[in-house]
Structure 1
Amino acid sequence: MGSVQRAMRLLETVAAHERGAPAKQLARQAGLALPTTYHLLRTLVHEGYLRRDSGLFHLGDAAERLSRRVARQRRRSAVTETLAHWHDVIGAPLYCARYRDGEIEVVGVADSQENPAVGEWADFRATGHAHAIGQCLLSQLDEEARRDHLARHPVQSLTPYTVEDEGAFLRRLAAARHGEPVLERQEYALGTVCAAIPIRIGTIVATVAVSLPVHQADQLLPTAHRLQAEIGRAPGVLALSFSI
């Protein structure tokens, strides 16, 4: 345990020097004996957590990867907390998703025992034409990207309310109004209606969606507008989370 603590202290000391630092300076600042410092430095360089350049020690690739993982975890925690807050305010299940590398990716869900999320009974990535999340994401793509997605994930009937064919689906996407919620009623799951808010951050295509039981269908659009207002109050959180 003591060796691990000393190694971590040494890593933190190196991280404080953007241009690197020599072993003697690191030993002094970390409060370590010079022989111990040399031993730890050799080990950390060997493992890739540090690198040595012209007598100065810098963070290595392994430390950079670890730092990025920690940053991603923090960003995911931030979006999870924000979704949970919006769920408490709105009182309905919420979903956060983005379109990345040609696929639909759900990055967060907030629900409760009283307001459970819709179960993923059919792969969300392959059924984007049927649910509000996918429809909203695809509506933000250009026609070529839409056709490419549908070539890999063809339109198929999931419920009696699912869009009939690719042509009808593409016409629906083309008719979507910029910035307006995308509504879907029982196309993915019977008994459920959904709305998705389009979010564009630079080149990032994303959405936050809400679902309601079908008997509350008349509240879908007002709920979507309320969610849109909540999103407008905290755009920075989503921008940060989608940079993952």
Structure 2
Amino acid sequence: MGDRAGHAPITSVQHAFRLMEAVGAHESGAPAERLARDAGLPLDGAHELLRSLTQDGYLRRLDDGGYVLGAKLHGGHSAQDLVNRIRPALAALRDDLSAAAYLTFYEDGEIRIAEIVDGPKAPKVDLWVGFKDAGHATALGKCVLRELDDEARRDYLARHALADLTPRTITHREELIRQLESSTSAPVMMDREEYDLGTTCIAVPVHSGNRLGSLGVSFRADRMYRTRHVTESLLASANRVSRGLALDL
């Protein structure tokens, strides 16, 4: 009996690590049920550990009930650690446009989702393909690629195949570059069902010092929306996000 009691704390630590590994595999967050399944833990035990890890700052619970890694696991200058500061701007964008809002950052040569703010009336798109492999097919990814210098863009495209995700996906590098370099009246990029059939996304860049990212929203493709209003709201929100990021420099 003494040996079993002595091993209980070690087992709990192992379970906590398995849960944190499961959370880390879902950049945009995952619910307790999915995390428990991924970690091979009973749901009741997973719920208890998730609560404890969240209270201690190792995890953070999103409005939709999903979990992402918390500040203690990111460091003071990471993208996720800045979310608490800039998330209100994303929530305001979501509420203004009745659309899920997304924020990405370009880090270590990859375009990564830092945060998604959605809601019952503004559902997020089903991220059925990992964002790492879909930068060419999303407004968010194309927005970052457009802002990169030629060398960084060539490096990215050399490391990422232009996968055919839908019949509308751009799969030829020259065509993608032509679209990225085409002149427009505002720094706006769109994808029209290129990542997900039935979904249109619009995005603008986010800059702060050496940090580059993009801010965007998604709509059902059959939904009527006012492009000018969406663009103005996105640009205003991107300015607020950039100012929030500047506080960390």
TM bracket (short chain)? 0.5 to 0.7
Q: Offset at 1:201?
A: 1.9
CA shift in 2, pair 1:169/1:82, >3 Å: same
Partner of 2:196: 189
5+ residue gaps in structure 1? 1-64
Kindly tell me the number of residue pairs found equivalent between the two proteins: 178
State whether residues 80 and 109 of structure 1, in contact with CA within 8 Å, keep that contact through their aligned partners in structure 2.
no
The worse-fitting range, judged by mean Cα deviation, of 83-92 and 115-124 is: 83-92
String of CA shifts for 1:28-85, please: whole Å, max 9, x gaps.
xxxxxxxxxxxxxxxxxxxxxxxxxxxxxxxxxxxxx97x846766622112232112
2:204 counterpart SS class: strand
In structure 2, C-alpha distance between the alignment counterparts of 1:194 and 1:221, rounded to whole Å: 14
CA distance in 1, matches of 2:233, 2:186: 14
TM superposition score normalised by structure 1: 0.65
Partner of 2:132: 125
Once residues 215 and 193 of structure 2 are traced to their aligned partners in structure 1, the CA distance between those partners, rounded to angstroms, is: 18
Amino acid at match of 1:214: A
Equivalents in 2 of 1:177, 1:202: separation in Å?
Answer: 24
**Superposition pairs of residues 145-224 of structure 1, within 5 angstroms:** 145-177=152-184, 179-216=186-223, 218-224=225-231
Does residue 239 (structure 1) correspond to residue 246 (structure 2)? The answer is yes
Structure 2 residue 113 is the aligned partner of structure 1 residue 106: yes
Q: Is residue 170–residue 194 contact of structure 2 (8 Å, CA) maintained in 1?
A: yes
Deviation, 1:86, is 2.2
SS in structure 1 at match of 2:136: coil
Could you tell which deviates more after superposition, 223-232 or 103-112? 223-232
Counterpart AA for 1:161: R
Instruction: State how far apart, in whole Å, the 2-side matches of 1:178 and 1:116 are.
Output: 29
* Shift, 1:171, TM fit: 1.5
In structure 2, runs of 5+ residues without a counterpart are 1-70
Report SS of the residue matched to 1:112: coil
Q: Is the 8 A contact 1:195 1:220 kept in 2?
A: no
Q: 1:194: Cα distance to partner? A: 0.6
1:167 is displaced (CA, Å) by: 1.3
Residues 228-237 or 147-156, more deviating = 228-237
Moved more, 102-111 or 225-234: 225-234
1:229 to 217, 233, 236: 236
| Native 8 Å contact 1:176 1:182 kept in 2 | no
Task: Give TM-score, length-normalised by structure 2.
Answer: 0.64
Structure 2 counterpart of 1:82, one-letter code: A
Query: Which residue type is aligned with residue 139 of structure 1?
Result: R
Q: Is the 8 A contact 2:207 2:242 kept in 1?
A: no
State the structure with more CA Rg.
1
Contact 1:179–1:198 (8 Å) recurs in 2? no
Identity %: 33
CA distance in 2, matches of 1:157, 1:79: 33
Measured in 1, the distance between the counterparts of 2:77 and 2:157 equals 34
State the AA in 2 paired with 1:190: L
Q: Does 1:95 align with 2:102?
A: yes
Aligned equivalents of 1:131, 1:180: Cα separation in 2: 15
Partner SS for 2:205: strand
> What secondary structure is seen at the aligned counterpart in 2 of 1:173?
helix
Cα offset, 1:216, TM superposition: 2.0
